[in-house]
Amino acid sequence: MGREVAESCVDAVVIEMVSAFCHNFYSAEPELAARRIEAIGYQVGHQLVERYTMDCPRFTDHLEAIKFICKEFWSELFKKQIDNLKTNHRGTFVLQDNMFRWITRISPNPLQENTTESIATNDDNQTTQTTSMHLYFPCGIIRGALTSLGIPCVVSADISHRPACSFVVRIKA
């Protein structure tokens, strides 16, 4: 595959896309913005997985497909694999990435000595909001990839410990 793009360009495009949808297009309805971003991710994941599974044989079961996503797919996208995979063997998988590249740079304002409680929590809220907005796109990518492999599912993200984030995949039975 001949042509390459700098990683900074991709990072910048993702940041600008999230910012454009949140502030310009659907500034009054963050829910709609989130859904549009997830839909874009769905398309991207759908097409990417076609490209990356060109020479692979068909996957035998759900676990194999998820393992493919965790290893080869994630390495192609982010140059690292998923750090931790948990499952309850009943259709729910948790993919944990300890250093997810698109949210490592989100940094809160530093706490000053005379910050009041409300200002401090405001900053924290803003960080949490920005982080969750940025995670809709990768959720869409995972959903698009799995659907294209024949596994309809629902993906959500969990950001309790930054910069580690978990993607929860629930397969529709």
Partner 1 sequence: MQFFGGSAAIGITPSPAAPPGTATSLSGNNANMLYIFNRNGVCLLYREWHRPLRTLDAQQDQKLMFGLLFSLRSFTAKMDPTSVDKGNLGVPLLPGQGCSYHSFQTNTYKLSFMESPSGIKLILVTHPKTGDLRDSLRYMYNLYVEYVVKNPIYVPGSAIKCELFNTNLDQYVKTLI
Q: How far is the CB of 123 from partner 1 (least distance, A)?
A: 9
Summarize the chain as % helix, strand, coil (round to 5). 55, 15, 30
Cα(92)–Cα(3) distance, integer angstroms: 37
| Selected range binding partner 1 among 13-21, 46-54, 113-121, 136-144, rule: CB under 8 A | 13-21
Is 34 a binding residue for partner 1 by CB under 8 A? The answer is no
Is 37 a binding residue for partner 1 by CB under 8 A? The answer is no
Alpha helices (H) in 3-116, listed in sequence order: 7-19, 30-52, 62-68, 74-78
Closer residue to partner 1 in complex, CB, 12/63 = 12
Contact 151, 168 (CB under 8 A): no
Q: Figure out which of the listed residues 71, 80, 86, 105 binds partner 1, where binding follows CB under 8 A.
A: 105
| Selected range binding partner 1 among 47-55, 57-65, 105-113, 139-147, rule: CB under 8 A | 105-113
- Kind of pairing between the strands at 92-97 and 153-158: unpaired
Bridge partners, 87 (sequence order): 93
Q: How far is the CB of 121 from partner 1 (least distance, A)?
A: 15
Is 91 a binding residue for partner 1 by CB under 8 A? The answer is no
From residue 150, alpha-carbon distances to 49, 59, 145 in Å are 11, 10, 9
Half-sphere exposure for 95 (CA within 13 Å, toward CB)? 23
Is 148 a binding residue for partner 1 by CB under 8 A? The answer is no
Closer residue to partner 1 in complex, CB, 128/148 = 128
Q: How far is the CB of 13 from partner 1 (least distance, A)?
A: 12
Is 43 a binding residue for partner 1 by CB under 8 A? The answer is no
| Selected range binding partner 1 among 25-33, 65-73, 104-112, 148-156, rule: CB under 8 A | 104-112
Residue indicated by tokens 């959500």: 156
Is 127 a binding residue for partner 1 by CB under 8 A? The answer is yes
